[in-house]
């Protein structure tokens, strides 16, 4: 079988890399088509025998999508593609039209739950409606995405499969111990916190920053490393400056060394109120880190249990629980190390490729 992964980005994605490797091992011919110039993702999957291609369009608006649509249809016919895994909204929009022009079967993989609606992004809402109406087969990574599509967006449940992300955890680079030591030395504090995500409303950085400010006012010797970028960056930097805590909350920006920063930290915080299946918390689990997440978000309820392998916060009012969790770890860090050990076991149980791949092979 000839299988195409259609994906907009050239950045590394261990879950996608894992599937491409596994499909190749099962005897399938695997292709990757991206909308950006070749990057880290292409370099990694070529090692597994994946055929990589890119198509970059400089057209605007309608012409942009028409250009990509024509290229995709031609690519599928030229390479005799049988099955297309289309990932994320931009390429899913192109795919729902392409499937009408070629014989390949398309699986549309959705990677967001309700933040598009919550943020009031009219264009994204419009795209979801078109994709939902025209798409035949969907794959979602968590119950929350399934419920959003079925209950809120009225997509027929027989069109949707829920399959966990699959990871070959050996694909992750091991933290650079020298770099980890340098990070720890540069951000010296009794308790070092880290968070990794895009600067968009659903990640609720404003709450996180205010919580850290409150704890600093209580006299706690803590620092927070923020990894990521996004449209809210200037507003968040201004918030930190207004609170006069720029020496305690540090913006690193986007980095490919996020694992090093998480390894250097004592605790990884993620208080987002909307996720599909967040990778950062799983990565923190690999590192056996203490995490704090919100209940009823993405698939956290499936593998994070409060007090056993992490701290689970009230989704609607996370501030009190977040500060309480940080205070507890601050008072006795070693007491909670077992949470990280248990989290790693849970992450491997739910997301190791050996435990997930069967659900994909059933599709074939």
Check residue 149 and report its DSSP letter: I
Q: Which of 121, 143, 148, 113 is nearest to 273 (CA)?
A: 113
Q: What is the mean pLDDT of the chain?
A: 95
For 338-354, the pLDDT digits (tens) are: 999 999 999 999 999 99
Residue 173 pLDDT greater than 90, yes or no: no
Cβ-Cβ contacts under 8 Å for 206 (sequence gap 6 or more): 236, 239
Cβ-Cβ contacts under 8 Å for 182 (sequence gap 6 or more): none
Cβ-Cβ contacts under 8 Å for 224 (sequence gap 6 or more): 193, 194, 195, 208, 209, 212, 248, 249, 250, 269
Confidence of residue 10 (pLDDT cuts 50, 70, 90): very high
Which H/E stretch holds residue 325? helix 318-331
**What percent of the chain is predicted at pLDDT more than 90?**
91
Q: Specify the CATH number for 173-351; select among 3.40.1190.20, 3.10.450.50, 3.30.360.10, 3.40.50.2000.
A: 3.40.50.2000
* Secondary structure class of 60 (helix, strand, coil): coil
Burial of 302 (0-12, 13-18, 19+ CB in 10 A): middle
Residue 213 pLDDT greater than 90, yes or no: yes
pTM: 0.90
Confidence of residue 304 (pLDDT cuts 50, 70, 90): very high
Angle between helices 353-361 and 14-25 (to 10 degrees): 60
CATH architecture of 2-169+352-361: 3-Layer(aba) Sandwich (3.40)
Which H/E stretch holds residue 279? helix 279-286
Q: Are 311 and 332 in contact (CB under 8 A)?
A: no
- For 305, half-sphere exposure in the C-beta direction (CA atoms, 13 angstrom radius) is 11
Residues carrying CATH 3.40.50.2000, the chain: 2-169+352-361, 173-351
Confidence of residue 79 (pLDDT cuts 50, 70, 90): very high
**What percent of the chain is predicted at pLDDT more than 70?**
100
Confidence of residue 59 (pLDDT cuts 50, 70, 90): confident
Helices and strands per DSSP (H, E), number in the chain: 16, 13
Instruction: Quote the CA–CA distance of 312 and 254 in Å, as a whole number.
Output: 26
Residue 364 pLDDT greater than 80, yes or no: no
pLDDT reported for residue 115? 84
Confidence of residue 223 (pLDDT cuts 50, 70, 90): very high
Instruction: Quote the CA–CA distance of 55 and 7 in Å, as a whole number.
Output: 11
Confidence of residue 279 (pLDDT cuts 50, 70, 90): very high
Instruction: Quote the CA–CA distance of 256 and 78 in Å, as a whole number.
Output: 35
pLDDT reported for residue 271? 97
Instruction: Quote the CA–CA distance of 136 and 121 in Å, as a whole number.
Output: 24
Q: Are 306 and 147 in contact (CB under 8 A)?
A: no
For 114-142, the pLDDT digits (tens) are: 888 887 888 899 999 999 999 999 999 99
Angle between helices 337-351 and 353-361 (to 10 degrees): 20
Which H/E stretch holds residue 194? strand 191-196
Mean pLDDT, rounded, for 55-63 = 90
Q: Are 271 and 293 in contact (CB under 8 A)?
A: yes
Which H/E stretch holds residue 329? helix 318-331
* Secondary structure class of 87 (helix, strand, coil): strand
Mean pLDDT, rounded, for 290-314 = 97
pLDDT reported for residue 119? 78
Instruction: Quote the CA–CA distance of 129 and 127 in Å, as a whole number.
Output: 5
């Amino acid at each position: 079988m000839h299988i195409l992964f259609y994906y907009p980005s050239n950045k590394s994605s261990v879950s996608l890399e894992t599937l491409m490797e596994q499909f190749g091992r099962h005897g399938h011919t695997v292709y990757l088509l991206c909308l950006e110039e070749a990057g880290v993702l292409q370099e990694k999957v070529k090692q597994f025998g994946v055929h990589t291609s890119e198509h970059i369009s400089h057209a605007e608006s309608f012409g942009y999508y028409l250009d990509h649509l024509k290229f995709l249809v031609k690519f599928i016919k030229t390479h005799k593609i049988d099955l297309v895994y289309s990932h994320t909204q931009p390429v899913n929009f192109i795919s729902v039209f392409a499937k009408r022009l070629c014989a390949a079967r398309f699986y549309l993989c959705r990677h967001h739950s309700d933040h598009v609606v919550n943020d009031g992004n009219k264009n994204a809402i419009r795209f979801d409606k078109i994709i939902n109406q025209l798409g035949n087969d969907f794959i979602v990574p968590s119950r929350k995405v399934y419920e959003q599509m079925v209950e809120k967006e009225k997509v027929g449940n027989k069109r949707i499969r829920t399959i966990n992300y699959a990871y070959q955890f050996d694909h992750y680079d091991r933290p650079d111990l020298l770099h980890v030591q340098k990070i720890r030395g540069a951000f010296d504090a009794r308790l070092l916190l880290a968070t990794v995500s895009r600067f968009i409303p659903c990640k609720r950085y404003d709450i996180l920053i205010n919580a850290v400010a409150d704890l600093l006012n209580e006299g706690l010797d803590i620092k927070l490393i923020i990894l990521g970028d996004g449209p809210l960056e200037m507003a968040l930097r201004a918030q930190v400056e207004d609170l006069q805590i720029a020496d305690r909350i540090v913006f690193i920006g986007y980095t490919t060394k996020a694992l090093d920063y998480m390894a250097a930290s004592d605790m990884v915080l993620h208080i987002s109120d909307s996720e599909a299946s967040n990778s950062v918390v799983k990565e923190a689990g690999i590192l056996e880190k203490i995490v704090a997440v919100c209940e009823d978000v993405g698939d956290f309820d499936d593998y994070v249990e409060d007090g056993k392998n992490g701290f689970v916060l009230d989704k609607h009012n996370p501030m009190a629980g977040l500060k309480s969790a940080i205070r507890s770890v601050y008072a006795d860090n070693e007491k909670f190390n077992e949470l990280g050990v248990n989290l790693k076991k849970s992450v491997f149980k739910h997301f190791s490729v050996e435990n997930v791949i069967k659900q994909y092979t059933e599709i074939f």
